[in-house]
């Protein structure tokens, strides 16, 4: 077969280049249908060109056509044995489907084709984090930065990973190095803020968060983190305003609020966890005390005890479509001073049952204790002290120890004292127990809020960094004035706190 006329080949090459250029422009403008059309036409002109099949795959993926996208990427992969991008794109598709192990395989394949492919190392690191392999992830972030020293996303992720692992000094160095090269990246400023909060430098943390928000005002996670700093320092007006951006808020059910509080009656719903709901109920009590009519949708586990309150009408869970979140009340009510805890009355039958159970457990005085609360995962509040370390602080207790820990692990049993852990499954039992025992010691958890609700005192082991309700410093909190606080050191040590607990 005769060769094509050179002029025809030249025109075809020009048309191919123009279609590639037009497709790229359409893709950049978000017109993925036009981009697909351009790349398909280009692929007909040069069916053996791997780059056009890769481009077609990207247009199809962006347009939601995952099957066609994968086929195009595979074709590009097979056409050019040294072309790394198709393998990377197949890895990104696997990651989008949550198949992290498959994604790792594709990133590894991409790196066999281009060993200095920084983005492949970066995405491999993300996948490894999702697989719980933090140390390996850090290694790939470091390789990504090695091949691309100005890779601010990799620097930010590495620093955040180090911070989460407790390597705050090295994390700070990375955040600051990243900012030196890219001072206009808000994520780096926000990460530095969280690093400084973890190190106990709340003023520096607040300044870093504000820098991030100056660069990117629409940064909800950063505003929420700034709120935690502001509230811990007692800046309640700004703190509650920024607290509206918390990730736990269901803004379909409880729309984003704007002050002032509209006229009642009010439909209010609980939010977050049991402890938080009990904490924020104090603001419902204030609102009702001002003469407002309140219908309240609680967590099912709190329903029976809240039905005994005379200032709210407890509504069914599906009875109100749209509500005010109880956690938005302090902002809407401009509450710049902490009101006292809501008061709850234990149910008489539960009081009698718990009184009998305590008598059978041993002699007075009774000391209830817990050593862990929350979920140990990224982004969640987790509070813990060694069970043995804590028990050593009251080994000479003259009465009976009461183990109140929810879901103790097998390696933590048997814990000292009588086993009352099942009371966590019935909060009416726990409320009665909180009204009866003499002392309560432990980390911040639902039981502490129930203890406050019955007017009791407690000794709270405050993990570092402290939740805002325990404030940034001091041995008391205005939110729980009858509680004594014992703070974990910024280095993670409990020695000073436990020494003070023994003395008290």
The answer to whether position 340 is within a domain reads no
The answer to whether position 376 is within a domain reads yes
Residue 285 and residue 320 in one domain: yes
Which positions ≥6 away from 426 have C-beta within 8 Å?
350
Residue 287 and residue 151 in one domain: no
CA distances from 445 to 277, 358, 384 (A): 12, 21, 11
Residue 294 and residue 383 in one domain: no
Q: Which residue has the higher pLDDT, 386 or 174?
A: 174
Cβ density class 455-470: b for 16+ within 10 Å, e for less = ebebbbbbbbbbbbbb
Residue 285 and residue 363 in one domain: no
Q: What is the mean pLDDT of the chain?
A: 94
Query: Residue 149: its pLDDT value, please?
Result: 98
* Number of domains present in the structure of the chain: 3
Would the pLDDT of 317 be above 80? no
The answer to whether position 337 is within a domain reads no
CATH code at 383? Answer: 3.40.50.2000
**Beta pairing class for 382-384 and 372-374:** antiparallel
Residue 318 and residue 183 in one domain: no
Give Cα 162 distance to the centre of its chain: 16
Q: Is there a contact between 160 and 154 (Cβ–Cβ < 8 Å)?
A: no
Residue 19 and residue 132 in one domain: yes
| Beta strands per DSSP E along 76-218 | none
Residue 297 and residue 407 in one domain: no
Query: Residue 78: its pLDDT value, please?
Result: 97
The answer to whether position 29 is within a domain reads yes
CA distances from 171 to 165, 177, 178, 228, 392 (A): 10, 10, 11, 21, 34
Residue 48 and residue 121 in one domain: yes
Query: Residue 321: its pLDDT value, please?
Result: 73
Tokens, residue 59: 């247009």
The answer to whether position 431 is within a domain reads yes
Q: Where a domain ends, among 192, 210, 233?
A: 233
Query: Residue 380: its pLDDT value, please?
Result: 44
- Residue range 126-167, pLDDT digits in tens: 999 999 999 999 999 999 999 999 999 999 999 999 999 999
CATH code at 210? Answer: 1.25.40.10
The answer to whether position 156 is within a domain reads yes
Would the pLDDT of 5 be above 70? no
The answer to whether position 463 is within a domain reads yes
Q: What CA–CA distance (Å, rounded) separates 113 from 109?
A: 7
Would the pLDDT of 172 be above 50? yes
The conformation of residue 248, written as its DSSP 8-state character, comes to: T
Cβ density class 481-502: b for 16+ within 10 Å, e for less = eebbbbbbeeeeebeebbebbe
Residue 288 and residue 312 in one domain: yes
Closest CA to 161 of 178, 175, 145: 175
Query: Residue 66: its pLDDT value, please?
Result: 96
Residue 118 and residue 153 in one domain: yes
Q: What CA–CA distance (Å, rounded) separates 221 from 215?
A: 14
Q: Which residue has the higher pLDDT, 411 or 158?
A: 158
Residue 327 and residue 359 in one domain: no
Is the pTM value of this prediction over 0.75?
Answer: yes
- Residue range 487-497, pLDDT digits in tens: 999 888 999 99
Q: Is there a contact between 296 and 306 (Cβ–Cβ < 8 Å)?
A: yes
Query: Residue 7: its pLDDT value, please?
Result: 64
The answer to whether position 241 is within a domain reads no
Range of the structural domain that residue 292 is part of: 266-332
Query: Average of pLDDT values for 182-202?
Result: 98
Residue 414 and residue 317 in one domain: no
DSSP-assigned letters across all residues of 373-416: EE--STTS-EEE--HHHHHGGGTT-SSEEEE--SS--GGG-SPS
């Amino acid at each position: 077969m005769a060769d094509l006329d050179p002029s025809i080949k030249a025109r075809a090459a020009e048309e191919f280049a123009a279609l590639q250029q037009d497709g790229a422009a359409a893709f950049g403008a978000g017109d993925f249908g036009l981009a697909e059309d351009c790349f398909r036409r280009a692929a007909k002109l040069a069916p053996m060109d791997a780059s056009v099949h890769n481009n077609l795959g990207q247009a199809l993926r962006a347009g939601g056509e995952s099957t066609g996208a994968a086929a195009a990427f595979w074709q590009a992969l097979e056409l050019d044995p040294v072309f790394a991008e198709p393998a990377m794109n197949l890895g990104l598709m696997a990651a989008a489907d949550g198949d992290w192990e498959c994604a790792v395989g594709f990133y590894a394949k991409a790196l066999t084709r281009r060993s200095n492919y920084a983005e492949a190392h970066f995405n491999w690191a993300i996948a490894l984090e999702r697989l719980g392999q933090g140390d390996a992830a850090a290694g790939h972030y470091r390789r990504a930065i090695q091949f691309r020293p100005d890779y601010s996303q990799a620097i930010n992720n590495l620093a955040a990973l180090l911070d989460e692992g407790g390597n705050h000094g090295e994390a700070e160095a990375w955040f600051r190095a990243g900012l030196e090269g890219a001072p206009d990246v808000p994520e780096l400023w926000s990460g530095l803020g969280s690093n400084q909060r973890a190190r106990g430098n709340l003023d520096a943390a607040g300044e870093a968060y504000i820098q991030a928000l100056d660069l990117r005002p629409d940064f909800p996670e950063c505003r929420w983190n700034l709120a935690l700093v502001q509230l811990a320092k007692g800046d309640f007006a700004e703190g509650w305003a920024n607290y509206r951006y918390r990730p736990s808020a269901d803004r379909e059910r409880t729309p984003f609020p704007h002050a002032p509080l509209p006229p009642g009656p009010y439909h209010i719903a609980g939010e977050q966890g049991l402890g938080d709901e009990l904490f924020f109920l104090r603001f419902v009590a204030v609102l009702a005390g001002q003469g407002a009519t309140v219908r309240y949708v609680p967590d099912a586990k709190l329903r029976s005890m809240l039905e005994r309150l005379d200032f709210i009408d407890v509504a069914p869970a599906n009875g109100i479509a749209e509500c005010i979140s109880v956690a938005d009340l302090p902002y809407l009510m401009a509450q710049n001073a902490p009101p006292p805890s809501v008061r709850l009355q234990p149910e008489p039958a539960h009081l009698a049952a718990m009184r009998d159970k305590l008598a059978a457990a041993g002699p007075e005085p009774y000391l209830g204790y817990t050593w862990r609360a929350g979920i140990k995962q990224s982004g969640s509040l987790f509070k813990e002290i060694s069970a043995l370390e804590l028990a050593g602080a009251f080994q000479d207790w003259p009465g009976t120890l009461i183990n109140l820990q929810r879901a103790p692990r097998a390696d933590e049993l048997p814990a000292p004292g009588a086993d009352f852990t099942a009371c966590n499954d019935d909060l009416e039992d726990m409320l009665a127990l909180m009204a009866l025992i003499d002392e309560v010691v432990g980390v911040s958890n639902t039981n502490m809020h129930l203890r406050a609700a019955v007017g009791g005192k407690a000794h709270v082991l405050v993990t570092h960094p402290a939740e805002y309700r325990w404030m940034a410093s001091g041995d008391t909190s205005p939110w729980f004035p009858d509680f004594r606080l014992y703070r974990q050191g910024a280095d993670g040590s409990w020695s000073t706190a436990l020494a003070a607990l023994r003395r008290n």
